[in-house]
Amino acid sequence: MKNFEFYNPVKIFFGEGQIDRLSQEISPFSSILLTYGGGSIKRNGVYEKVINALAGKKVIEFGGIEPNPRYETLINAVELARQNKVDFVLAVGGGSVIDGTKFIVASIPFEGEPWDIVAKGIKVEKAIPFGTVLTLPATGSEMNSGAVISRVATNEKFSFGSPAVFPKFSVLDPTFTYSLPKHQVANGVVDAFAHVLEQYLTYPSNSPIQDRFAEGILQTLIEVGPKTLENPFDYDLRANFIWSCTMALNGLISTGVPTDWATHMIGHELTALFGLDHGVTLAIVYPALLTEMVDFKKDKLLQYGSRVWNLSAKDLTAERAIDETEKFFRNLGLKTRLPEHGITFNNTKTIVERFRARGWILGENKNITPDKVEKILKRASEPYK
Amino acid sequence: MKNFEFYNPVKIFFGEGQIDRLSQEISPFSSILLTYGGGSIKRNGVYEKVINALAGKKVIEFGGIEPNPRYETLINAVELARQNKVDFVLAVGGGSVIDGTKFIVASIPFEGEPWDIVAKGIKVEKAIPFGTVLTLPATGSEMNSGAVISRVATNEKFSFGSPAVFPKFSVLDPTFTYSLPKHQVANGVVDAFAHVLEQYLTYPSNSPIQDRFAEGILQTLIEVGPKTLENPFDYDLRANFIWSCTMALNGLISTGVPTDWATHMIGHELTALFGLDHGVTLAIVYPALLTEMVDFKKDKLLQYGSRVWNLSAKDLTAERAIDETEKFFRNLGLKTRLPEHGITFNNTKTIVERFRARGWILGENKNITPDKVEKILKRASEPYK
């Protein structure tokens, strides 16, 4: 096991009716910025419940945070918050709204150009406190201190993180997610699954607790993912799906182990360039990356095939474990090859060029060079068997 | 899944050399109370490393906190801390030192008789901040907000807890535990194992993540427990043992599930009355309790037998799962029956009388009455087959 630091002070209120905890949590604050997305919360009743819980406070609304939240949008919220001397921000939404809100709360007290936080990786020392009400389980942003922000002007997508942007609390009420469209739930299952794989499918590091926690999340996603897609109103299925997503990226399973994250880095580019949903990009890149890097990941792939996919000794190969993974993504309804999204191998050359320009070498072994990325994209361009 | 709140703000510094993080963490404080136990830290070099890290601070020492820390001892530390206007306490030791320190930090600003915190369950609203340097993995106290305190005058042992007594940080360096006597490591394995069972061997609640995390910790303890006993200087074995103990009782695996804790309640009495080590009491009570309550725990016992003990379908019974558990405790060197410790069934009558007087009815189903406790103690009085 490697040395590590673990710290996660997010307070979780989990379950139906937990929105009632909101008023106590925000009692010290007076001027609240309420951030949300495209307005689905106004149709499914969540908005009303939140507004009721905020009774007596000055509430300034900022809706319209889009999927893959954009600097160009968020900077307007920063201005609005500064004008209104906002002392707390409440994010109601999924990963995009929460990620966007992390950028907003970090930017409000930031002196200088906020985009530098993301592009130049400037350390965020202070931020306005914020909480979240989760409506779309997937990214784990409700219980971590990271965020991914896009800039339309340059077709870029970058991540940043700081202990200053941990939510103070997150309300996770499964009933708030009942009205989600099927494809968003499917994307969420893949996103959470990929988060676990990034921290698990690397090389053995003698960390059995972390391995078993990771495997437990993967097994649960395999078990409840397809079912919660078909039965959106089954409370327990949805609850277990949500807790899987949160546990997948709250820092716990990465303690003491090597991590990869190359699939996410490549996937971010596919989103930035072609507008593909984040979950969809992961479903495309992961099988191709695992196949390309199979020699370096063989030990963990075999463990994964055996413990997560229950492959018997005679069926157990790394390739079979990869096949099961891609099949799982496809059974959830995601298309796992670039041509299925109208993208050719040639279209992806920009990605390789960008990685070359940035000097990025990715992966747990620091051996996923731009050349390797090219090969991975080549594999992702082949038709599914 | 039941509704739950989860909050755990303890910062963990894990690994060899992490004591170096101490000076930064305590930099805001000036008058430090250093608490420890019988002085083993002075023989194994940990004391010196801690003192070096505290250079430049006013340090007041309070050693001699005993196993099952006593009110009568701790109250002296409270007095000492008040006299010296201590603004931070550093606990260096195992669960007893850390538990005792939680009582100290809660008592320092407490107006009134501190024993009431424990005996009357008075809510602790504020406490002096403290950190820990762990030298004996077992109780999980380094990452939770609970403590168990004894009072010699009345032969009592009670627990208390409050978010105010979460450690600010804990340093977990496996090398700091190399010199532990074998029986303390064995007790620690059983203690952590029992902590998981208390939160897992109840009734099914459709919480697969929590179940799999619990099973992962149990499997790891089965795997590394006996090995770290035999190979105390194997870093990875010790590291995995420590992380198992911490994960066993940091609030994570109890989220949304029923919990039992009857074995601990009965075990505390065996310690209070007969001075048995905490881990030893759990090894005595657990097999007896599971056998007595088998009808109510059957579903989870079968899941446990299958997933944790890998019992095949033809061997899988609840009784077999219980047998494996007792065998595991015995193989670690613990005696699991009362007569092996010179205690007869008649000696234990006080326990049942106390539970009757207190009106305690225990267990996840609130059906472990004093009569049931009597039957459990009867079973624990039978010789091992």
The predicted model gives A277-295 an average pLDDT of 98
ipTM of the prediction: 0.97
Q: Which amino acid is at B14?
A: F
Distances in whole angstroms, Cα of residue B182 to Cα of each of A305, B46, B222, B324, B335: 37, 19, 16, 22, 14
The predicted model gives A307-326 an average pLDDT of 98
pLDDT at position A191 is 98
- Which of these CATH numbers, 3.30.210.10, 3.40.50.1970, 3.20.20.70, 3.30.1440.10, describes A11-176? 3.40.50.1970
Q: What is the pLDDT of residues A193-226, one digit of tens each?
A: 999 999 999 999 999 999 999 999 999 999 999 9
Does the structure show a pLDDT above 90 at A156?
A: no
User: Helix crossing, B370-380 with B349-358: angle to 10°?
Assistant: 160
**Percentage of chain A modeled with pLDDT above 90:** 98
The predicted model gives B335-349 an average pLDDT of 98
Q: What is the pLDDT of residues A97-137, one digit of tens each?
A: 999 999 999 999 999 999 999 999 999 999 999 999 999 99
Does the structure show a pLDDT above 90 at A281?
A: yes
pLDDT band at A42 (very low <50, low <70, confident <90, very high): very high
Q: What is the DSSP letter of B36?
A: -
Nearest to B18 among A3, A207, A212 (CB): A3
Q: What is the DSSP letter of B368?
A: B
Q: What is the pLDDT of residues B189-225, one digit of tens each?
A: 999 999 999 999 999 999 999 999 999 999 999 999 9
Going from N- to C-terminal start, the domains of chain B cover: 11-176, 181-380
The predicted model gives A258-267 an average pLDDT of 97
- Chain A neighbours among B 240-259 (CB < 8 Å)? 240, 243-244, 247, 252, 255-256
pLDDT at position B158 is 87
The two domains A11-176 and A182-380 share their CATH topology (first three levels equal): no
pLDDT at position A127 is 98
Contact assignment for A255 to B240 by CB distance below 8 Å: no
Q: What is the pLDDT of residues A72-105, one digit of tens each?
A: 999 999 999 999 999 999 999 999 999 999 999 9
Does the structure show a pLDDT above 90 at B361?
A: yes
pLDDT at position A246 is 98
pLDDT at position A271 is 93
Domain B181-380 classification at class level: mainly alpha
Q: Is-contact B89 B81, C-beta < 8 A?
A: yes
What are the chain B neighbours of A11 within 8 Å (beta carbons)?
5-7
> How far is Cα B188 from Cα B208, in angstroms, rounded to an integer?
26
pLDDT at position B156 is 84
Write the CB contacts of A265 (distance below 8 Å, at least 6 apart in sequence): A360, A362
**Shortest CA distance to A255 belongs to which of B212, B246, B226?**
B246
DSSP E strands in chain B: the ranges are: 4-6, 11-14, 31-35, 58-62, 88-93, 130-134, 146-151, 156-161, 169-172
Mean of per-residue pLDDT scores for chain B? 97
User: How close B359 gets to chain A, by Cα (Å)?
Assistant: 32
**Percentage of chain A modeled with pLDDT above 70:** 100
What are the chain A neighbours of B211 within 8 Å (beta carbons)?
216
Distances in whole angstroms, Cα of residue B375 to Cα of each of B299, B317, B361, B379: 22, 22, 14, 6
Does the structure show a pLDDT above 90 at B187?
A: yes
Contact assignment for A216 to B220 by CB distance below 8 Å: no
Does the structure show a pLDDT above 90 at B157?
A: no
Mean of per-residue pLDDT scores for chain A? 97
CATH architecture of residue range(s) A182-380: Up-down Bundle (1.20)
pLDDT band at A39 (very low <50, low <70, confident <90, very high): confident
Contact assignment for B11 to A7 by CB distance below 8 Å: yes
pLDDT at position A158 is 87
> How far is Cα B140 from Cα B161, in angstroms, rounded to an integer?
13
Q: What is the pLDDT of residues B5-23, one digit of tens each?
A: 999 999 999 999 999 999 9
pLDDT band at A279 (very low <50, low <70, confident <90, very high): very high
Does the structure show a pLDDT above 90 at B256?
A: yes
pLDDT at position A248 is 98
pLDDT at position B385 is 86
Q: Taking CA atoms, what residue in B is nearest to A5?
A: B13
The predicted model gives A302-314 an average pLDDT of 98
**Radius of gyration (Cα) for chain A, nearest Å?**
20
Chain B within 8 Å of A231 (Cβ-Cβ)? no
Contact assignment for B4 to A15 by CB distance below 8 Å: yes
Does the structure show a pLDDT above 90 at B275?
A: yes
Instruction: Enumerate the β-bridge partners of residue A133.
Output: A92, A171
User: How close B201 gets to chain A, by Cα (Å)?
Assistant: 18
